[in-house]
Structure formats: C-alpha cells, structure tokens
Amino acid sequence: MKRVVLFTKNSCPHCETAKKYLDQNGIKYRLCNVGTAAGRKEHSLTGFRGVPILKVGDQFLNGFTVKGFQNLYGK
C-alpha cells in the first residue's frame, strides 16, 4: 500500500474532488493544507506551485485526474 499525501487549500473545488474520490474509494491519505505555515513549508519542498498535488509513494501528480491517480497508485 503506497502512502498518499494530498496537498490542498481551503475553497479549492479540484481539491474537494480529489478528497471525495479518495474517501469514496477507501484510500487512506494525509491531508496537507498549504494555508498553514507547516503546510506551506512542506508544499514548497515538492517543487510545485498550485494545488491539488497528490504525493503517491515518492511520485507526484500535479492536479487531479482519476486516471492519473490510478496510474501512480496502481489500482
């Protein structure tokens, strides 16, 4: 099982879509809100600027698509 981290910010519709997908499919993930100081710091280490970003294992998905996520997660 790969570890999943979802980088989000408040009132981001694409982030909500990603959260909903993960929840509906029973995929455990850690939420990292870039609206917090700790979240911004962790987000800056990814090298990406926007959200949502999904970190699956040691790979990143910039933006959210079901197909893109499944390719990384292996589902």
Spatial distance between the Cα atoms of 73 and 60, rounded to a whole number of angstroms: 10
Classify domain 4-73 by CATH architecture.
3-Layer(aba) Sandwich (3.40)
Report the pLDDT value the prediction gives residue 75, as an integer from 0 to 100.
62
Q: Where are the domains of the chain?
A: 4-73
Cβ neighbours of residue 30 under 8 Å, at least 6 residues apart? 3, 4, 5, 6
pLDDT at 2 over 90: no
- What pLDDT, in 10s, does the model give residues 23-43? 999 999 999 999 999 999 999
